[in-house]
């Protein structure tokens, strides 16, 4: 899971708390709990708006996409991963960990759907 530890605001701390708890739930394979926690993180992230320097929304959307994929809900996961990837590509000078994470999720979604050409493109 992806997280950031910067930002001292109470709002940022609450987002981080939900994000970290969601990641822990994923690691324990508690996917329903993880989804609930990451959706709470998404709500907190939305309050930061479009100018959030840490791109919390994109991080949470990418995390939820991964959770939904692991839950077999690829049709729900794909648009979230694509949106997070688009945001990351806009703000990252070079592909960073969040871009790679979202590309990996998309690649896995396409691979499960046996769309190997798109999977290969995502993994490149």
Distances (CA, A) of 108 to 69, 93, 102: 8, 25, 10
Report the CATH architecture of 10-123. Answer: Alpha Horseshoe (1.25)
Spans of the chain below 50 pLDDT? 3-8
Greatest Cα pair distance, the chain, in angstroms, is: 44
Distances (CA, A) of 54 to 3, 98, 114: 10, 11, 34
pLDDT at residue 3, rounded to an integer = 45
pLDDT at residue 7, rounded to an integer = 47
pLDDT at residue 121, rounded to an integer = 81
pLDDT at residue 59, rounded to an integer = 92
pLDDT at residue 103, rounded to an integer = 87
């Amino acid at each position: 899971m992806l997280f950031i530890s910067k930002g001292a605001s109470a709002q940022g701390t609450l987002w981080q708390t939900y994000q970290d708890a969601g990641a822990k739930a994923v690691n324990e394979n508690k996917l329903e709990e993880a989804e609930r926690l990451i959706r709470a993180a998404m709500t907190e992230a939305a309050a930061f708006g479009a100018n959030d320097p840490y791109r919390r929304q994109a991080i949470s959307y990418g995390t939820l996409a991964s959770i939904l994929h692991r839950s077999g809900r690829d049709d729900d996961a794909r648009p979230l991963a694509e949106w997070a990837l688009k945001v990351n590509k806009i703000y990252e000078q070079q592909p960073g960990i969040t871009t790679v994470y979202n590309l990996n999720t998309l690649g896995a979604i396409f691979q499960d759907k046996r769309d190997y050409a798109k999977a290969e493109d995502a993994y490149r």
